[in-house]
Amino acid sequence: MSADPRATIQAVWRIESARLIAGLTRLVRDVGLAEDLAQDALVAALEQWPESGVPDNPGAWLMATAKHRGIDQLRRSARLQRKHEELGRELRETEDPDLDAALDDGVEDDLLRLIFMACHPVLSRDARVALTLRLLGGLTTSEIARAFLAPEATVAQRIVRAKRTLSEARVPFEAPSGREREARLESVLEVIYLVFNEGYSATAGDDWIRPSLCAEALRLGRILAELAPREPEVHGLVALMELQASRLRARVDRTGGPVLLLDQDRARWDRVLTRRGLAALHRAQALGAGLGPYGLQAAIAACHAHARTPEDTDWVRIAALYDALCQLAPSPVVELNRAVAVAMAFGPAAGLELVDELAAGGELDGYHPLPSVRGELLMRLGRDAEAREELEHAASLTRNERERELLRARLRPFG
């Protein structure tokens, strides 16, 4: 056990919790109860592992502990007979090996089923995304709030209500087909990308990236592409994630510190993922329906993939793609990214004008990339005093330690 056993256990939890909750949901058919059982297993680990050590297979230990408690609860539940009928077997006085097999069988599909369950139309759009980020991404409520640019208390209430609603509505644990799948596809895509994005650029903590989240989102995206091969936005999302994931190794230095896009060693970009991403983008385009928001973002990422050096980047095309994205899926965050592209294509003054309009609107108050971008543009314009103030403000807002270090490094030339 490490010097900080709780930190080790929390790291294991971060990796294993989504599969654990998904497998338990298949057993108990109640996502709220499944999460409670998973949390009980975490408490047991916190009590036992500091003394016994971390098991060789910690995920299996957590699953076995939670499963045993779940079986006990099913035996005591007034709904026992209904659960028996759903599972298609009797629970014996001792643990039934067939039940173990049923729980372990098909685990590769459980996370996908859990996403579709959490994205059921009985929930509001925001509730679907928040709940799935919590269950599938293992994100804390504060991290989800950051992704939503929403108050933490609001997100916490949203998650509690969502689990209660799913339980009361008896939403089935399944991956739907046909029209029902199409109706839920948009929110599923959004959830998968938000999980990916949390891995690509962590909102809080000591790590700049969390590759395991990116890998999980990619896996789910690829499964969706098989389930919905005629949906261009599914391929667009997969393309976007593949292309962004291709840069993960180059996004950190040897100490784990962040390396920004224009400073990255492009020889470290994963060419296999790049080719996969470009192929997925081609599939999205070949379907002939026009690129949606994810497809347009993938096209932007493709511009970077095609550039051998930062100087070769076609920023004019990127700015045009952001113009199209702003028309199709307007948001202040997209507008901020557009301002960066405009600054690279047409100069920092043009970009700063757009950033100042965003700042005046107030929608991005408290969002640290806004003062970070503004500080960089002011620095390029030689307005050092204003740049320093903006970068200091950005450093005070971010909750990611690596990003805070990066911003402080940008302040060093000012003394």
Total domains present in the chain = 2
CA distances, 38 to each of 16, 66, 70, 212, 331 (Å): 10, 6, 9, 20, 36
Considering the entire predicted model, what is its pTM?
0.74
pLDDT (mean) for 180-191? 83
Nearest Cα to Cα of residue 110 among 187, 21, 212: 21
Is residue 386 situated within a structural domain? yes
Helix (H, G, I), strand (E, B) or coil at 252: strand
Residue 80 confidence (pLDDT): 55
Q: What is the pLDDT of residues 355-374, one digit of tens each?
A: 999 999 999 999 999 999 99
Residue 342 confidence (pLDDT): 98
Confidence of residue 180 (pLDDT cuts 50, 70, 90): confident
Is residue 163 situated within a structural domain? no
DSSP letters for 37-78 = HHHHHHHHHHHHHHHH---SSHHHHHHHHHHHHHHHHHHHST
Is residue 6 situated within a structural domain? yes
Give the whole-number percent of the chain exceeding pLDDT 90: 46
pLDDT (mean) for 320-331? 96
Q: Which of 43, 76, 105 marks a domain boundary?
A: 105
Is residue 381 situated within a structural domain? yes
- Chain position carrying tokens 């994810």: 294
Is pLDDT at 195 greater than 70 in this prediction?
Answer: yes
Could you tell me the CATH number of the domain that includes residue 354? 1.25.40.10
Neighbours of 130 (CB within 10 A): 30
Is pLDDT at 178 greater than 70 in this prediction?
Answer: yes
Residue 227 confidence (pLDDT): 78
Residue 91 confidence (pLDDT): 39
Is residue 233 situated within a structural domain? no
Q: What is the pLDDT of residues 67-123, one digit of tens each?
A: 888 887 777 665 555 555 555 443 343 344 443 444 444 445 787 788 888 888 899
Is pLDDT at 348 greater than 50 in this prediction?
Answer: yes
Residue 332's domain spans which residues? 314-415
Q: What is the pLDDT of residues 228-269, one digit of tens each?
A: 888 999 999 999 999 999 999 999 999 888 999 999 999 999
Is pLDDT at 271 greater than 90 in this prediction?
Answer: yes
Q: Which of 57, 78, 105 marks a domain boundary?
A: 105
DSSP letters for 107-122 = HHHHHHHHHHHHT-TT
Is pLDDT at 409 greater than 80 in this prediction?
Answer: yes
Token code pair at residue 218: 């990619």
Could you tell me the CATH number of the domain that includes residue 36? 1.10.1740
Is residue 246 situated within a structural domain? no
What's the mean per-residue pLDDT of the chain? 86
Chain-centroid distance, C-alpha 309? 29
Q: What is the pLDDT of residues 55-70, one digit of tens each?
A: 888 888 999 999 888 8
Residue 302 confidence (pLDDT): 98
Residue 6 confidence (pLDDT): 75
Q: Using alpha carbons only, how large is the chain's radius of gyration in Å? A: 23
Residue 415 confidence (pLDDT): 58
pLDDT (mean) for 172-186? 81
Residue 134 confidence (pLDDT): 86
pLDDT (mean) for 171-181? 82
Is residue 239 situated within a structural domain? no
pLDDT: is 295 or 109 the higher one? 295
Confidence of residue 179 (pLDDT cuts 50, 70, 90): confident
Token code pair at residue 204: 């809080």
Is residue 187 situated within a structural domain? no
d(CA 106, CA 413) in angstroms, rounded, equals: 56
Residue 203 confidence (pLDDT): 79
Nearest Cα to Cα of residue 237 among 368, 227, 22: 227
Token code pair at residue 381: 């314009």
pLDDT (mean) for 129-146? 81
Q: What is the pLDDT of residues 25-39, one digit of tens each?
A: 888 888 888 998 998
Residue 107 confidence (pLDDT): 46
pLDDT: is 140 or 246 the higher one? 246
CA distances, 73 to each of 33, 69, 91, 149 (Å): 10, 6, 12, 38
Backbone angles phi, psi at 388, to 5 degrees: -60, -45
- Listed in sequence order, the residues at least 6 apart from 293 whose beta carbon sits closer than 8 Å to its beta carbon are 233, 236, 325, 328, 329
Residue 243 confidence (pLDDT): 98
Residue 100 confidence (pLDDT): 45
Q: Which of 76, 105, 134 marks a domain boundary?
A: 105
* Minimum mean pLDDT range among 8-17, 83-92, 266-275: 83-92
Residue 97 confidence (pLDDT): 41
Is pLDDT at 275 greater than 90 in this prediction?
Answer: yes
